[in-house]
């Protein structure tokens, strides 16, 4: 069945004609010869669309249209208008009719128009379902997702937001580490204070110390006046040290001392200054390996990593991909002034199958591009980049007998871990139990090179 249509026309014979024509084209319908009668059944008739004549005695089609738009905006209205009275059709569109057809009615064309209206309605339903899922418990601040992996994270966030401990946020690039840092700040007792992010990788080594600790007047050639550092700017608030793994060794030692003593000494200054700052840090690198290689101080690691929050990669978040995609479609389409309501079923399958090495940031870029390209109301497979369209799923763990298809052990292991994670809906605890690995090892294996360039 294509859909359920409510027909309204003051001429009984016209109603009967439409009903028959639509039944032949697989639509179910009910008809009424007055708008008022029709309105009474609108709420419990479970209709996908309304098809109404415009000129009727009593309540006109235009008024009916207005009432439906006001009370049941989810039900699209298609109006029928006599040939030569296009202005009335235009006024109907203005009050919110979905489309119009002219009399004498071409039944095949009518069926196409109604089909479009029904599809539109179903799409809106889908979007509503997704948004409801997000509203219920599928979000934490700006973070979207209701997979077990994310709910785990939200639980941890709620528990640690109020503590004063240092937190190290880890996770692949684009998983939302900065978003987590911001929401931790907003939920902490320091919410009224400043949130100051610093990207340790973006500041040259020679400047980092004075950026963080400030400098005294005359400390170096350009220091014409005293300047407060980011630590002092974050007073009573939160300092977010992003990409902490990139911090030069010399600075690591100074940072450690400052954190231990809650005091810092501005560059070229002779007095120590106390500070009251909560420090959050983030890294997408494996700091433990950096420690083994002697690139990161172990004592600083322990100081920063009182609590660790691990962001799951997007590919371990199941259908969160669709929730986040919908969120971006809605926002970006509105910004682009395009009437795009969502993602087609086929395109959704592709989004779910892809491995998202660049995580949420990559998903956002893919959606942004698709929104710009698409000619449809739903993003289609053809709007997705080649790598997403043609992504070969990793489901097959051990290939066939063709020597060219045989895989290195590491890749088989990675695919199998991925498969287990997907199967248990991203629940790390369950996955690591099945695999007989601890969670840390599980994540190290997942985030090692193989996962990143697949």
Which residues make up the interface to Mg ion (CB under 5 A)?
178
Minimum gap (Å) between residue 253 Cβ and ligand ATP: 25
The one of ligand ATP, Mg ion, none whose footprint includes residue 145, by CB under 5 to 8 A per kind, is ligand ATP
Q: Write down the residue that tokens 């289609």 correspond to.
A: 380
Cβ proximity to ligand ATP: between 80 and 321 the closer is: 321
Query: What is d(CA 175, CA 165) in angstroms, rounded to the nearest whole number?
Result: 22
Q: Give residues with Cβ within 8 angstroms of 332, minimum separation 6.
A: 367, 368, 371
Partner in contact with 350, chosen from ligand ATP, Mg ion, none, beta carbon below 5 to 8 Å by kind = none
Nearer to ligand ATP by C-beta: 154 or 213? Answer: 154
The partner in contact with residue 219, picked from Mg ion, ligand ATP, none with C-beta cut-offs of 5 to 8 angstroms by kind, is: none
Closer CB to ligand ATP, 134 or 348, in the complex: 134
CB 272 within 8 A of CB 231: no
Query: Shortest approach of ligand ATP to residue 357 CB, angstroms?
Result: 12
To the nearest whole angstrom, how small is the minimum distance from the Cβ of residue 299 to Mg ion? 25
**Beta carbon nearer to ligand ATP, 97 or 143:** 143
361 binds, among ligand ATP, Mg ion, none (CB under 5 to 8 A by kind): ligand ATP
Nearer to Mg ion, 351 or 360 (CB): 360
Comparison of 76 and 171: residue with beta carbon closer to ligand ATP: 171
Nearer to ligand ATP, 131 or 173 (CB): 173
Indicate the residue among 76 and 171 with the shorter CB distance to Mg ion: 171
Among Mg ion, ligand ATP, none, residue 185 binds (CB under 5-8 Å by kind): none
The distance of closest approach from Cβ of residue 146 to ligand ATP in the complex, given in angstroms and rounded to an integer, is 10
> How far are the Cα atoms of 155, 242, 246, 444 from residue 289, in angstroms, in the given order?
28, 18, 13, 10
Whichever of 178 and 377 has its CB closer to Mg ion, that residue is 178
Shortest reach from residue 367's CB to ligand ATP, in Å: 11
Write out the E strands in 178-334: 195-199, 214-215, 227-228, 238-242, 263-264, 273-274, 278-283, 307-310
Q: Which residue is nearest to Mg ion (CB)?
A: 178
Q: How far is the CB of 156 from ligand ATP (least distance, A)?
A: 14
> Of ligand ATP, Mg ion, none, which one sits near residue 175, judging by CB under 5 to 8 A according to partner kind?
ligand ATP
| Footprint of ligand ATP (CB under 6 A) | 143-145, 171, 173-179, 284, 324, 360-361, 364
CA atoms of 97 and 68, how far apart (whole Å) = 9
Cα 34 to Cα 39: distance, rounded to the nearest angstrom: 9
Listed in sequence order, the residues at least 6 apart from 200 whose beta carbon sits closer than 8 Å to its beta carbon are 208, 241, 242, 243, 244, 246, 247
CB of 146 to Mg ion, least distance (A): 23
SS3 29: strand
Asked if 143 and 309 touch (Cβ cutoff 8 Å), the reply is no
Tell me which residue of 83, 104, 89, 80 sits closest to 5, measured CA to CA.
80
The whole-angstrom separation of Cα 187 and Cα 6 is 50
Shortest reach from residue 279's CB to Mg ion, in Å = 16
Q: For 27-119, where are the E strands, in sequence order?
A: 27-32, 49-53, 77-82, 99-103
Q: What share of the chain is helix, strand, coil (3-state, %, to 5)?
A: 50, 15, 35
Q: Nearest to ligand ATP by Cβ — which residue?
A: 176
- Between residues 309 and 347, which has the closer beta carbon with respect to ligand ATP? 309
Q: 67 contacts which partner out of ligand ATP, Mg ion, none, CB within 5 to 8 A by kind?
A: none
Tokens of 166: 């240092």
Report the nearest approach of ligand ATP to the CB of residue 351 (Å). 14
Interaction partner, residue 179 (Mg ion, ligand ATP, none; CB < 5-8 Å by kind): ligand ATP
> 360 touches which of ligand ATP, Mg ion, none (CB within 5 to 8 A by kind)?
ligand ATP
For residue 426, give every residue at least 6 positions away whose Cβ sits within 8 Å of its Cβ, in sequence order, or none: 147, 148, 149, 150, 312, 316, 317, 318
Give the shortest CB-363-to-ligand ATP separation in angstroms: 8
Q: Which of 447, 378, 390 is nearest to 417 (CA)?
A: 447
Q: Pick what 176 binds: Mg ion, ligand ATP, none; C-beta below 5 to 8 Å, kind-dependent.
A: ligand ATP
218 to 214, 230, 267: CA distances (angstroms):
12, 19, 10
């Amino acid at each position: 069945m294509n859909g359920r249509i409510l027909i309204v026309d003051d001429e009984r014979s016209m109603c009967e004609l439409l009903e028959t024509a639509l039944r032949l084209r697989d639509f179910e319908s009910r008809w009424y010869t007055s708008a008022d009668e029709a309105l009474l059944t609108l709420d419990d008739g479970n209709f996908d669309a309304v098809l109404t004549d415009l000129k009727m005695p009593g309540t006109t089609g235009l008024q009916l249209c207005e009432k439906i738009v006001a009370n049941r905006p989810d039900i699209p209205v298609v109006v029928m208008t006599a040939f030569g009275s296009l202005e009335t059709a235009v006024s109907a569109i203005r009050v919110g009719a979905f489309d119009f057809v002219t009399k004498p009615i071409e039944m095949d064309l009518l069926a196409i128009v109604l089909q479009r209206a029904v599809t539109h309605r179903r799409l809106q339903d889908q979007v509503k379902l997704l948004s409801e899922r997000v509203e219920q418990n599928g979000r934490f601040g700006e973070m979207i997702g209701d997979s077990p992996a994310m709910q785990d994270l939200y639980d941890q966030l709620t528990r640690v937001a109020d503590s004063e401990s240092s937190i190290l946020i880890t996770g692949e690039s684009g998983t939302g580490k900065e978003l987590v840092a911001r929401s931790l700040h907003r939920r902490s007792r320091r919410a009224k204070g400043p949130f100051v992010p610093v990207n340790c990788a973006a500041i040259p080594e020679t400047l980092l110390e004075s950026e963080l600790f400030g400098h005294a007047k005359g400390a170096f050639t350009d220091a014409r006046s005293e300047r407060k550092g980011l630590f002092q700017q974050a007073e009573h608030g939160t300092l977010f040290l992003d990409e902490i793994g990139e911090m030069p060794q010399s600075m690591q030692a100074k940072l450690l001392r400052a954190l231990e003593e809650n005091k810092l000494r501005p560059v070229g200054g002779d007095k120590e200054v106390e500070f009251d700052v909560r420090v959050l840090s983030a890294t997408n690198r494996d700091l433990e390996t950096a420690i083994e290689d002697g690139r990161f101080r172990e004592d600083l690691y322990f100081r920063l990593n009182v609590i660790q929050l691990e962001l799951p990669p997007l590919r371990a978040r199941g259908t969160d991909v669709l929730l986040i995609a919908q969120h971006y479609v809605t926002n970006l389409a509105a910004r682009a002034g395009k009437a795009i309501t969502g993602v087609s079923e086929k395109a959704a399958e592709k989004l779910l199958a892809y491995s998202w090495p660049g995580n949420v940031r990559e998903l956002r870029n893919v959606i942004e591009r698709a929104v710009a390209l698409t000619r449809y109301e739903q993003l289609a497979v053809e709007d997705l980049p080649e790598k997403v369209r043609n992504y070969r799923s990793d489901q097959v763990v051990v290939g066939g007998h063709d020597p060219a298809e045989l895989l290195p052990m590491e890749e088989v292991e990675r695919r199998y871990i991925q498969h287990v994670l997907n199967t248990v809906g991203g629940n790390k605890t369950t996955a690591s139990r099945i695999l007989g690995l601890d969670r840390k090892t599980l994540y190290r294996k997942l985030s090692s090179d193989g996962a990143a360039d697949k």
